[in-house]
Amino acid sequence: MPITLIANASWIVAYDAKAKGHVYLRDGDVAYDGNRIVHVGGSYKGKADATIDGRGKMVMPGLVNIHSHPSSEAMTKGWNDELGSPKMYGTALYEFMPLFRCDAEGIKSCAQVTYSELLMSGVTTLVDMSVAWDGWLETFKASGLRGVFSPMYRSARWYTDNGHLAKYEWDAKAGEAAMAAAMKLLDQVAADDSGRLSGMVSPSQIDTCTPELIQASYAEAEARKVPFQIHAAQSVVEFHEITRRHGMTPVEWLESLDVLGPFSIIGHGIFLDHHSSVKWPATDDLGCLVETGTNVAHCPIVFQRRGIAMQSFGQYVAAGVNVGIGTDTYPHHMLEELRAVCIGSRMMAEDVYDLRTSDAFNAATLGSAKALGRDDIGRLAKGAKADIVIVDVMHPMMRPLRDPIRSLIYAAGERAVTTVIVDGVTVVDNGKVLTMDYAAAAAELEEAQRRAEPKVKGLDWAGRDHLEISPLTFPSGR
């Protein structure tokens, strides 16, 4: 295989096996042979078929995103930024989320916009949690990302017909059929020969799935030796619904179903028994997550928009919970999520030392990789996958340069990301995506958004149009 050398990198975020963590190295080389890293740090003495100039650059591992919805969320830009149900504890899940969705024609462009933004922000591995759509597999493969396909399904749909009460329309048989279809898709993914694709079993939400569907899903994940992820503890409404049904917190109930463990991921996991919004007797949900080895996918921005936050990320890490990072909403920029992790956690804890920047970066690399059962991604180490991000540390927003990861997360963001390599293939160069037409996809997605707007009135329980529900920032002038 051809060997590519990144020569004389000013900074390298390398994995130290003895320390079991990342370390900074200065003025060294990184080399990869095909899709595997063969050298990190110091001078590479072997022959190279291609050389990338690393001077003035930081080389770091690709980020691992363990929770995202590419086929839907990008289209809600400008609609969902300031929406939440006042009588449902601020969540937008039940009243507003079902009103503004992509039609079949717009889904591909929605996904391409998401994939492009994620690549430009340094994501190399993505858990794609979508309801299966035509062309999904082909579109994802063309993006160049390393993908974990996570087709979602459920036993019920949620809705509200009054703006203050969540209701559920159940069809257990339909949920079972949808699960069977999802497993067929995972069979296709497993048969793919690209080496970049794998699967995940994902019953959608704890409150929309029967216990039988959840347990059958977990059994499938175990049999297939793939991770299992379910949305849980994501809203106060859901917390109260589960305690009403079962007299247990969402975490307690999942534990009673015997579906928690090292390959289980709780999507969000915000409203545990200790959260100040739930007013529930202490049952040590955090301790349960630690004891079972269950992982949490943390996506701060989508909640912070509505005045909701984990209490706190630093507390979860200190307790020993393995936390990974995802982008549950637009903008699909992982580096902005990491900034939100750090700032939000300190605000909730009212303590600047609640977490360190290293905790957030570790979560987006090593923590996410661990949740997926992988030790060959999220790190720059000999033998790991060649999933690599190159950052321009001479970019004005990176300077003055004292600590490049801090400058990247708190200041420059994706603007300083120049090159992204996935499985040894360059997919972003000079900050531009090479595998998709980002601008064209964004234009097509805007057309899909226009098509969605007039449909809102017929879907809303109160018959409101889209401008009544989500007015523009300023009224239109003459």
As a CATH number, domain 63-372 is 3.20.20.140
Question: Quick one: which H or E segment has residue 334?
Answer: helix 334-349
The pLDDT value recorded for residue 476 is 87
Arithmetic mean of pLDDT, 406-433: 98
pLDDT of residue 432 exceeding 80, the answer is yes
The pLDDT value recorded for residue 434 is 98
Residue 1 — very low, low, confident or very high, per pLDDT cuts 50/70/90? confident
Find where tokens 């001077």 sit: 55
| Count of C-beta atoms within a 10 Å radius of residue 462 | 12
Q: Helices then strands (H, E): number in the chain?
A: 16, 21
Q: For residues 267 and 297, give the distance between their C-alpha atoms in angstroms, rounded to a whole number.
A: 5
- Supply the pTM of this predicted model: 0.97
pLDDT of residue 478 exceeding 80, the answer is no
**Contact, 259 vs 252, CB < 8 A?**
no
In the chain, the percentage of residues whose pLDDT exceeds 90 is 98
As given in the structure block, the two tokens for residue 356 are: 């360190």
Average pLDDT along the chain:
97
Q: For residues 253 and 249, give the distance between their C-alpha atoms in angstroms, rounded to a whole number.
A: 6
Find where tokens 């969902």 sit: 80
Rounded (10°) CA dihedral 393, 328, 295, 132: -120
Q: For residues 69 and 126, give the distance between their C-alpha atoms in angstroms, rounded to a whole number.
A: 10
Question: Quick one: which H or E segment has residue 123?
Answer: strand 123-128
Domain ranges of the chain: 63-372
The pLDDT value recorded for residue 41 is 97
Measured CA distances, 190 to 15, 131, 424 (Å): 29, 18, 21
For 107-138, how does the pLDDT look when each residue is reduced to its tens digit (9 = 90+)?
999 999 999 999 999 999 999 999 999 999 99
Peptide bond into 281 cis (omega under 30): no
Arithmetic mean of pLDDT, 358-365: 98
- DSSP assignment of 23-88: EEEEEEEEEEETTEEEEESS---S--SEEEE-TTEEEEEPEEEEEE-TTTGGGGTTTSTT---GGG
Q: For residues 26 and 42, give the distance between their C-alpha atoms in angstroms, rounded to a whole number.
A: 8
